[in-house]
Chain A
Amino acid sequence: MDPAPLPRTNAPEPGARVEAGARVEAGARVEACARVEACARPTGPDARAMRVVVVGAGPAGARCAEMLGAGSAVTLIGAEPSLPYNRVALSKLLAGDVDEADLVTHGAARLAALRVAYRPATRIASIDREARILRTDAGDDVSYDRLVLALGSQAFRLNLPGASLPGVSMYRTLDEVRAMLAAAELGGDAVVIGGGLLGLEAAYGLALRGMRVTVVHAVDRLMERQLDMPAAMLLARRLARQGIALVLSGSTEAIEGTGCVTGVRLTDASVIPASLVVMAVGIRPEVTLAREAGLDIGRGVKVDDAMRTSDPAIWAVGECAEHDGQCCGLVAPALAQAEIAARVIGGEDASYVAAADATALKVAGAGVWSAGQTEGLGAETIVYHDPDGEEYRKFVLFDGRLVGAMLYGETRDAPWYQSLIGQGRELTGLRGTLPFGPAFATPEFMEAAE
């Protein structure tokens, strides 16, 4: 293996042991440009241990590697140069709530303690399934006994004229956020294309950084996958109050500019000036490597309940995996899948059961949470709406039982609703106070729950 480039800052030196509990210094960048493996690579009996390689150092990959831990020789390979970080918290970085160091989930010391060898900035070019060897795009070979693909998703890039101009960014990686922050320092106008969660997080962060932001969204309401119209209106009002302009049902025709971005032209011929354009119009599972390796692919890499792909030596977890026809887009199921894969590889008999899908988000400072079915034929709804108080709660019942909920504003009681959905209990006597959380449930109801 080739020596890696020297660390730019604060990353552990090759072979260095890092004290347990040491942190990357606040405000520092989080590249880990060394392989953090020398110290972790065990000798002795472990040298004969099963080699597990996890490709992808996002939350699912890092969790899987962490869980595999001691019993195996684990190598975690990440395409990005940084230490494993919490991608979900990029919005906080953009908004200035945290700095880069806070994003790191698995520092060098922790990885060392877990005996995980970490190879950042390493892209895998191909898999030789027969030989069980990975080839990096730098030409290295990495052998495995078991392989876990945790490749995540690709941000979807609109195929528009001007889409590759400088100043057009995706919103997926730390590097992209760094670029957005750099652009924001110059101020000016930004256009975010996409009014889903990621787009709004980007818009909110950029607005907080002082840019004049316009969100262009193709649908008639924001976050249509999570919110119904009343909740989306509350969110729209909130964003408007924070100075973010919204173009709903707006369709982008082209990115304008020569040399760099100057604006976004919509199909109604209007032009919104912009020195930064962020595309946040969706993600799709990253399946290129798996497809080329000949694994079964649907929308994602198809897996069974053990998260195993069509190759019994290869698992797939997180956003790149397709379980039971579903690709997850949230961190909680991704982590659950990672744990299942780790346990199965470790010899346990474990199955992934998709939990009621819950989405807990913070958008522009407002809580958004939804779980289960949020509409449906024959369903009954209980709706609580306080426009001025910026609260909206919708509950969907079927046969007197809670099957779904959507909260906008205060989401503190979300876990309780999640458990009610899970329990499938009849809510007789509780309907008048359901929107107000467990504190309003009768003692009898709560006793019965326990």
Chain B
Amino acid sequence: MTDAVRTTCPYCGVGCGVLARPDKPVQGDPAHPANFGRLCSKGSALSETLSLDGRLLYPQIDGVRATWDAALDRVATAFRDTIAAHGPDSVALYVSGQLLTEDYYAANKLAKGFLGTANIDSNSRLCMASAVVGHLRAFGEDLVPGTYVDLELADLVVLVGSNTAWCHPVLYQRIVAARAERPWMRVVVVDPRRTATCEDADMHLKLAPGSDVALYAGLLGYLRDAALGDAAYLAAHVGDPAAALKATPTIAEAALLCGLDEALLTKFYRWFALTPRVVTLFSQGVNQSSAGSDKANAIINAHLFTGRIGQPGAGPFSVTGQPNAMGGREVGALANMLAGHLEWDRPDEFAALQAFWGAPNLAAGPGLKAIPLFEAIREKKVRAVWVIATNPAVSLPAGATVRAALAGCDFVAVSDCVRESDTMDLAHVRLPALGWGEKDGTVTNSERVISRQRAFLEAPGEARPDWRAVAGVAARLGHGAAFAWNGPAEIFREHAAVTGLVNNGRRAFDISGLAGLSDDAYAAMAPTQWPCPADGARGGRLLGGGCFTHADRRARMVPTPFRAPAHAVSPEWPLVLMTGRIRDQWHTMTRTGKSARLLAHIPEPVLSVHPDDAAGLENGGLGEVASAWGTAVMRLRHDTGLRRGTVFAPMHWTTRFCPAARVNGAVNPAVDPVSGQPELKHTPVSVRAWPAAWHGFVLARENLGTDLAPWCAVLPVGDGVWRHELAGRGPAEAAFARLGGKLADGGAGWLALEDAARGLHRAARVREGRLMAVLFIGPDRVLPPRDWLISLFAETLSPATRRVMLAGRPAEARAADPYVCVCHGIGERAIRRVIEDGCDTVEAVGRATKAGTNCGSCKPEIRALLAPVLEPA
């Protein structure tokens, strides 16, 4: 692709290189070390998500268009007044792994350095916080020791709590390709669900949700008993492992806690024990747990104990869910981090940062993590909040509480690309941000590779990069000099310089070697793996030779005694709800929801239920999942791949796509005690059929919104056509009339089919031969498939098609059976049958079928059918 801009995919933490142009579909960047040209379904569809539909294009104050100056004045005033009245910790920022490193850096600098509060947390809290704690506790620093190549060099890859095939598809494809090259390579999946990732695996450990600690602690015990500890590595680089080794269950105990067959578990342990080149890749199934930090450490322990870390094809490997979760961690934009891997508990680093920033007010200690932060907002301890590039009203657990907290907050500013979101709807000030393809900066992927995101589109409307909005507020608060950047390169240099403060090899994260990049070099920067110190080795694996960041340079094996999930099932809440991603959607669908192609895979929010747990829950019906915290209603799907007693729901759907399916409303707010990461994968729930009186759908040439019915899921299906799936409780006839009114349009005529007794109502609106809208309502969920009707929107309707359109599907594909006798409606097939039965004259056929007995004009045809009988062979 000539003239294409090299940039980086904005979805998962694999961080694939993308070649992009405004006018063509994107392609994978063959030169990028993450993907070497590959892209997944979401990445491939990026070009379909770039429309300006729904974009916020200018600032708003209280819903009214405003200038940037006025909007920033309002934000600055709110923050200044709130701090003046209630102190620095009465304000907060809630940011996102979608931010570029430069935006992240600016936000963190504003909060900690100049507002004087560490109340800045990121939606990475939902994603990576437990892994961060695992890394910090074990290594003394938040770092991933391995590289993607290790997944290809390993002889055993253990995928724990990761539907890699759907959530990190390009990495998964790399593993699959490596397996094809190296057939002895094994893949084990550890997941309560049989996911797509299991399809190509050698073993699936369908463990009880939340039991991963027991699995890996049991492994540690097995390795100890098998005397597989790497004595030399332990002696040289690891602190005393005794406590961790003591906190291990027996295999039998582990099997019991995990709900796994002991023999199968032993087999896995043997595989792990006998395979030096082993990578444990872990993701949200590990992190999103009240024992997430311990799960991470249990995994890391097994690798430290065997010295299988930082070696080719070996190591623990946390993969992130967001494009720049790593960047956020690097700049320190989490409430429990300071900046640039500098730490509060290392006073020389604190002082150095204070001096470097010229920030006497630098926050003195950790702030509020996401869940307590929103709790503090609810309690009015935090009274002004600025949310940037994330949608906590949907994505945090106990969503109703979060929405109520924001609704009751004195001041809410939201920076985002989209005009409407569950969070944006609660904002006093709305600030239009640049989106992917428009903004310019860097992101860091799961293997520490810093890649450039480059702009290839014009900034739309008055949208600005987030760092400029942050700098604007900082300037209004009197800190202009500290934020007087002329572009992202300048910010990046400053960030790189921070990582070099009192470092000298103390911390692995050192990119001070990039602090002198010229603007041109920054513009041209190729994917660069850290560390990049001013002097010394760059990139590559870490920790293989020890050199941990703890003061004694040794790793820690953290004891991980098993703890059950925070909330246990009960007779009232007998099932465990796990939430997660689906293949073709991303977070709250603000981008992927624009692509019909991506929505075709799973068009509606689906609650998967094991058939044995599904008494009274019809496959394809609607089900309400309820917990002590809330409810959600989704389409039910029976899935034998689930572990019995568990249900699974995607977390993507929002008010814009399906308000009833905002599953986080039902998710428990328990968090990991150390990482503060919510337990999104273990909420006790009950599921019952949602008693719909009618089901239906509307296809229209516009998005009619999600308030068409008590249950409504909306999605684009291409060419400007929108599909709305509906269900309701009142009389179908009334719903039909109401919906018909919503679809009315003076210029277009209606076709209607009504079977009121059966509750079946259908209508279509046609204007000048073009289908404008279709409305189908029926008494049950058995409605015609939508595809055929959707396809009709693209054509000019022929009279023949128009006549049968409300059948909702094309005619039955079967051998034509033309009428022979039109008077009596007798087809050729019936006539042939009686001929076979012995009717050998036209009259006999007539007596048997009535054919030909009225007008008689078909008698020649009957005679022709008889001909073989009449003419002796």
Q: Do A and B come from one complex?
A: yes
**A residues with CB within 8 A of B:** 332, 335-336, 380-389, 391, 397, 410, 414-416, 418-419, 431-433, 435-443, 446, 450
In chain B, positions 804-822 with a C-beta closer than 8 Å to chain A are 804, 806-809, 811-812, 814, 817, 819, 821-822
| Inter-chain CB contacts under 8 Å: number | 105
CB pair A335 B802 closer than 8 Å? no
A332-B823, A389-B799, A450-B833 given; A443·B814 CB < 8 A:
yes
A386 to B807 Cα, complex, angstroms: 13
Instruction: Chain B residues near A414: list those with CB within 8 A.
Output: 825
Residue of B753, B802, B830 most packed against chain A (CB within 10 A): B753
A443 to B823 Cα, complex, angstroms: 23
CB pair B807 A436 closer than 8 Å? yes
A137 to B825 Cα, complex, angstroms: 44
A388 to B854 Cα, complex, angstroms: 35
- Selected interface stretch from B291-299, B503-511, B548-556, B744-752: B744-752
Smallest CB separation, B831 vs chain A (Å) = 11
CB pair A415 B807 closer than 8 Å? no
| Chain B 793-809 per-residue mask, 1 if CB under 8 angstroms from chain A, else 0 | 00000010011101111
Instruction: Chain A residues near B751: list those with CB within 8 A.
Output: 384-386, 388-389, 391
| CB closest residue in chain A, given B778 | A432
Shortest Cβ-Cβ A-B pairs, 7 listed: A415-B825, A380-B757, A388-B749, A439-B811, A386-B751, A436-B807, A382-B755
| Chain B 822-863 per-residue mask, 1 if CB under 8 angstroms from chain A, else 0 | 111110011001000000000000000000001000000000
A335 to B856 Cα, complex, angstroms: 12
Partner of B812 from the list A380, A387, A441 (CB cut-off 8 Å) is A441
A385 to B817 Cα, complex, angstroms: 27
Chain A CB within 8 A of B756 CB: yes
A438 to B814 Cα, complex, angstroms: 11
In chain B, positions 750-775 with a C-beta closer than 8 Å to chain A are 750-758, 760, 762, 766
| CB closest residue in chain A, given B752 | A385
CB pair B854 A332 closer than 8 Å? yes
CB pair A443 B812 closer than 8 Å? yes
A419 to B753 Cα, complex, angstroms: 22
CB pair A415 B830 closer than 8 Å? no
CB pair B824 A440 closer than 8 Å? no
A231 to B817 Cα, complex, angstroms: 30
15 contacts between A and B (CB under 8 A): A332-B854, A335-B854, A380-B755, A380-B757, A381-B756, A383-B754, A386-B751, A388-B751, A389-B751, A397-B757, A410-B803, A432-B760, A436-B803, A438-B817, A439-B804
Partner of B758 from the list A336, A380, A386, A442 (CB cut-off 8 Å) is A380
Partner of B802 from the list A386, A437, A443 (CB cut-off 8 Å) is A386
Chain A CB within 8 A of B611 CB: no
A446 to B821 Cα, complex, angstroms: 17
Q: A332-B823, A381-B755, A442-B812 given; name 8 further pairs at CB < 8 Å.
A: A386-B752, A386-B803, A415-B819, A415-B821, A416-B825, A431-B755, A436-B804, A440-B804
A332 to B799 Cα, complex, angstroms: 31
A432-B760, A450-B830, A450-B833 given; A415·B823 CB < 8 A:
yes
CB pair A435 B753 closer than 8 Å? yes
CB pair B753 A382 closer than 8 Å? yes
A414 to B824 Cα, complex, angstroms: 9
Chain A CB within 8 A of B645 CB: no
A59 to B751 Cα, complex, angstroms: 40
Chain A CB within 8 A of B539 CB: no
User: What count of chain B residues pass the 8 Å CB interface test?
Assistant: 38
A380-B758, A419-B824 given; A433·B807 CB < 8 A:
yes
CB pair B752 A384 closer than 8 Å? yes
Instruction: Chain A residues near B829: list those with CB within 8 A.
Output: 450
Instruction: Chain A residues near B823: list those with CB within 8 A.
Output: 332, 415
Residue of A387, A435, A443 most packed against chain B (CB within 10 A): A435
A415-B823, A439-B812, A450-B830 given; A387·B807 CB < 8 A:
no
Chain A CB within 8 A of B784 CB: yes
Residue of A335, A439, A446 most packed against chain B (CB within 10 A): A439
Smallest CB separation, B384 vs chain A (Å) = 56
A414 to B826 Cα, complex, angstroms: 11
| CB closest residue in chain A, given B816 | A439
CB pair A432 B807 closer than 8 Å? yes
A380 to B756 Cα, complex, angstroms: 8
Partner of B753 from the list A383, A410, A442 (CB cut-off 8 Å) is A383
Instruction: Chain A residues near B807: list those with CB within 8 A.
Output: 432-433, 435-436, 440
Instruction: Chain A residues near B749: list those with CB within 8 A.
Output: 386-389
A381-B756, A432-B784 given; A415·B803 CB < 8 A:
no
CB pair B754 A435 closer than 8 Å? no
A383 to B752 Cα, complex, angstroms: 8
A438 to B823 Cα, complex, angstroms: 16
A336 to B829 Cα, complex, angstroms: 25
Instruction: Chain A residues near B854: list those with CB within 8 A.
Output: 332, 335-336
Partner of B814 from the list A384, A415, A446 (CB cut-off 8 Å) is A446
Instruction: Chain B residues near A437: list those with CB within 8 A.
Output: 804
CB pair B819 A391 closer than 8 Å? no
Instruction: Chain A residues near B753: list those with CB within 8 A.
Output: 382-385, 432, 435
Instruction: Chain B residues near A419: list those with CB within 8 A.
Output: 824-825
Smallest CB separation, A231 vs chain B (Å) = 14
A446 to B804 Cα, complex, angstroms: 18
CB pair B825 A387 closer than 8 Å? no
Instruction: Chain A residues near B817: list those with CB within 8 A.
Output: 438, 446
A441 to B827 Cα, complex, angstroms: 15
Smallest CB separation, B778 vs chain A (Å) = 7
A439 to B814 Cα, complex, angstroms: 8
Smallest CB separation, A379 vs chain B (Å) = 9
| CB closest residue in chain B, given A391 | B803
| CB closest residue in chain B, given A389 | B802
Smallest CB separation, B102 vs chain A (Å) = 57
CB pair A440 B803 closer than 8 Å? no
Instruction: Chain B residues near A433: list those with CB within 8 A.
Output: 807-809
Smallest CB separation, B847 vs chain A (Å) = 12
Residue of B749, B825, B830 most packed against chain A (CB within 10 A): B825
Instruction: Chain B residues near A410: list those with CB within 8 A.
Output: 803
Instruction: Chain A residues near B760: list those with CB within 8 A.
Output: 382, 431-432
Smallest CB separation, B811 vs chain A (Å) = 4
Instruction: Chain A residues near B802: list those with CB within 8 A.
Output: 386, 389
Instruction: Chain B residues near A380: list those with CB within 8 A.
Output: 755-758
CB pair A432 B808 closer than 8 Å? yes
| CB closest residue in chain B, given A386 | B751
CB pair A440 B778 closer than 8 Å? no
A387 to B752 Cα, complex, angstroms: 9
Instruction: Chain B residues near A441: list those with CB within 8 A.
Output: 812
A443 to B802 Cα, complex, angstroms: 23
A432 to B784 Cα, complex, angstroms: 9
| CB closest residue in chain B, given A335 | B854
| CB closest residue in chain B, given A380 | B757
A332 to B854 Cα, complex, angstroms: 7
Instruction: Chain B residues near A435: list those with CB within 8 A.
Output: 753, 806-807
| CB closest residue in chain A, given B784 | A432
| Chain B 687-709 per-residue mask, 1 if CB under 8 angstroms from chain A, else 0 | 00000000000000000000000
Instruction: Chain B residues near A438: list those with CB within 8 A.
Output: 817
Smallest CB separation, B861 vs chain A (Å) = 15
CB pair B824 A415 closer than 8 Å? yes
Instruction: Chain B residues near A384: list those with CB within 8 A.
Output: 751-753, 806
A436 to B802 Cα, complex, angstroms: 11
Smallest CB separation, B862 vs chain A (Å) = 15
A439 to B809 Cα, complex, angstroms: 11
Instruction: Chain A residues near B799: list those with CB within 8 A.
Output: 389
| CB closest residue in chain A, given B799 | A389
CB pair A415 B822 closer than 8 Å? yes
Instruction: Chain B residues near A415: list those with CB within 8 A.
Output: 819, 821-826
CB pair A382 B754 closer than 8 Å? yes
Instruction: Chain B residues near A336: list those with CB within 8 A.
Output: 854
Instruction: Chain A residues near B752: list those with CB within 8 A.
Output: 383-386
| CB closest residue in chain B, given A450 | B830
Residue of A335, A387, A415 most packed against chain B (CB within 10 A): A415
